[in-house]
Chain A
Amino acid sequence: MITELEMGKAESELELGLGLSLGGGTASKIVKPGGGGAWGERGRLLTAKDFPSVGSKRAADSASHAGASPPRSSSQVVGWPPIGSHRMNSLVNNQATKKEDDGKKKAKDDETKDVTKKVNGKVQVGFIKVNMDGVAIGRKVDLNAHSSYENLAQTLEDMFFRSSPGTIGLTGQFTKPLRLLDGPSEFVLTYEDKEGDWMLVGDVPWRMFITSVKRLRVMKTSEANGLAARHQEPKERHKPV
Chain B
Amino acid sequence: MDRRFPFKVLEHIFSFVDSNEDRNSVSLVCKSWFETERRTRKRVFVGNCYAVSPLKVARRFPKMRSLTLKGKPHFADYNLVPDGWGGYAWPWIEAMAARRPLLEEIRLKRMVVTDECLEKIAASFRDFKTLVLTSCEGFSTDGIAAIASTCRKLRDLELRECIVDDLGGDWLSYFPETSTSLVSLDFSCLDSEVKLSDLERLLSRSPNLKSLKLNRSVTLDVLESLLRRAPQLVELGTGSFSDELDPEEIAKLTKALSELKQLKSLSGLWDLLPEYIPLLYSVCPRLTSLNLSYATVQMPDLIDLLSRCSKLQKLWVMDLIEDKGLKTVALCCKELRELRVFPSGADLDETDVTLTEQGLVSVSEGCKKLESVLYFCVQFTNAALVSIAKNRPNFRCFRLCVMEPFAPDYRTQQPLDEGFKAIVEKCKDLRRLSVSGLLTDKAFEYIGVHAKKLRMLSIAFAGDSDLMLHHLLSGCQSLKKLEIRDCPFGDTALLENAAKLETMRSLWMSSCFVSFGACKQLSQKMPRLNVEVIDEHPPKTRPDSSPVERIYIYRTVAGPRLDTPEFVWTIHKSPEVGVSRLSIR
Contact = CB atoms under 8 A, between A and B. Distances in A.
Contacts of B353: 123
A83 B78 contact: yes
Interface in B321-360: 342-354
Interface string A51-90: 1011111111011000000001111011111111111101
Interface in A20-62: 34-39, 41, 45-47, 51, 53-60, 62
Contacts of A169: 406
B310 interface: no
B209 interface: no
A167 B166 contact: no
B191 A55 contact: yes
B161 A86 contact: yes
A95 B349 CA distance: 12
Nearest to B293: A87
B385 to A, nearest CB: 18
B78 A38 contact: no
B63 interface: no
B83 A60 contact: yes
Q: How big is chain A's contact interface, by range?
A: 35 or more
A62 B79 contact: yes
Nearest to A56: B165
A56 B79 CA distance: 15
Interface string B392-415: 000000000101111000000101
Nearest to A72: B347
B488 interface: yes
A72 B271 CA distance: 24
B347 A38 contact: no
Interface string A89-111: 01110110000000000000000
Interface stretch (A170-178, A187-195, A205-213, A228-236): A170-178
A58 B163 contact: yes
A144 interface: no
Given A75-B348, A87-B293, A123-B352, A55 B440 contact: no
Nearest to A128: B349
A61 to B, nearest CB: 9
User: What secondary structure prevails in chain B residues at the interface with A?
Assistant: loop
Contact of A54 (B191, B349, B351, B536): B191
A51 to B, nearest CB: 8
A84 B77 contact: yes
B349 A74 contact: yes
A82 B83 contact: no
B537 interface: yes
B486 A88 contact: no
A73 B342 contact: no
Given A36-B512, A177-B464, A82 B77 contact: yes
A35 B547 contact: yes
B192 to A, nearest CB: 9
B61 interface: no
A86 B78 contact: no
A174 B546 CA distance: 14
A218 B284 CA distance: 51
A73 B347 contact: yes
A124 interface: yes
Contact of B82 (A60, A72, A82, A92): A60
Interface string A116-154: 000010011000010000000111100000000000000
Pick the 4 closest A-B CB pairs, nearest first: A79-B78, A60-B83, A91-B346, A36-B547
Interface of A: 34-39, 41, 45-47, 51, 53-60, 62-63, 72-75, 77-88, 90-92, 94-95, 120, 123-124, 129, 137-140, 158, 166-170, 173-174, 177
